[in-house]
Amino acid sequence: MWKTAFIWIALLLLAYAQPAEAGWVITTQSSDSFGNKSFSTTFIQDSIIRIDKPTSISIINLNQKLITLIFAQHRAYWQGTAKDLNTTTTKMAEGQMTRLLALAPEQKRQEIKRALASFRKNQAKPDSLRVFPKVTVRKTGQRDTLLDYPSTEYEVIIDSVVKQHVWVTQKVKPYHEADIKRLMAFGRAMNPFTIETSLSRSKDYMRLLEEGIVLKSVNYTTDGNKLVTTVTKIRKMNIPVAIFQIPPGYVVTSLENVMILDMKNNILDPKNLTPDDGSSGNGLPKLPHNNDNNQNLF
């Protein structure tokens, strides 16, 4: 589930890649139909993207084709390619389902067996044998003003079902087409089975991203939930190189180890999350989004 969220945030923000002389800091807020909210801050400079969320930090280096996951709670990090991440998380998911099957009561075992068999079959199927959904992008005729920019609404239809509404402004275009394509390819390698992967293969959707910046998106899920993601602030500024580096003293770890530690220490409980105040108590450099000096704001 977190992979899908990660990929969507990346797709939403991928249009902000910027030449070497400047970087971008973008803050977003997401909410669903049940009142749950989440926040993220994304830093982009020199084809490197860092996404800060309450429980983790992700750094994507498009030049080196590497992703680094930083876990400040454990002063640890994981690093690898998109394919490495997909392989690792797939094995973890299969292992969890296998353990669940072993512990499940008899009346649930057949259901879990079918789910596990379907999961394995889906993972084993090569892209050449997959039939990807048809993606259609069209204007709705509606307009809005977001962050003082005129924005045009589009709906994204996948196999005749409206899956997204997005609002795009053409007034700001601080991106490189090459970085859009590389990040799309990165997302496909990281998780080839999501809706976002179908979007990344669509020429219509690619053209939509090339038109400008997605300032707002509404995603509709199969269970009736609605996820609304809005860009709340965009800032153009020089970002310290340290923001994109592994903090000194952090040790390499496995994702399996992090999951075990998080479950043991109940890290994901909201009351155990440390607010991002830009302090260096966890070894991370002070973040520029907490320093209002020398900012070139839109």
Q: Which pLDDT value is given to residue 198?
A: 63
| Sequence-separated (6 or more) residues with CB below 8 Å from residue 166 | 153, 154, 156, 208, 214, 216, 217, 218
> Residue 17 has what pLDDT?
45
What is the reported pLDDT for 293? 38
- In order of start, what are the domains of the chain with their CATH numbers? 2-293 (2.50.20.10)
- Tens of pLDDT along the chain (298 residues)? 445 555 555 555 554 444 455 788 899 999 999 899 999 999 988 889 999 988 789 999 988 999 999 998 889 999 999 888 888 888 888 888 888 888 888 888 888 888 888 777 776 665 544 667 788 999 999 999 999 999 999 999 988 889 999 999 888 775 666 677 777 777 767 665 555 556 767 788 888 887 888 999 999 988 888 999 999 998 888 999 999 999 999 999 988 888 777 666 554 443 443 444 444 456 666 666 544 433 333 3
pTM over 0.95: no
C-alpha distances (whole Å) from 228 to each of 32, 87, 111, 113, 215 are 6, 29, 32, 34, 11
pLDDT for the residue 178: 60
Sequence-distant (≥ 6) Cβ neighbours of residue 224 within 8 angstroms: 33
Q: Tokens standing for 205?
A: 């959707």
Q: What CA–CA distance (Å, rounded) separates 65 from 237?
A: 24
What is the DSSP code (8-state) at residue 225? Answer: -
DSSP 234-249: EEEEPPPGGGGSPPTT
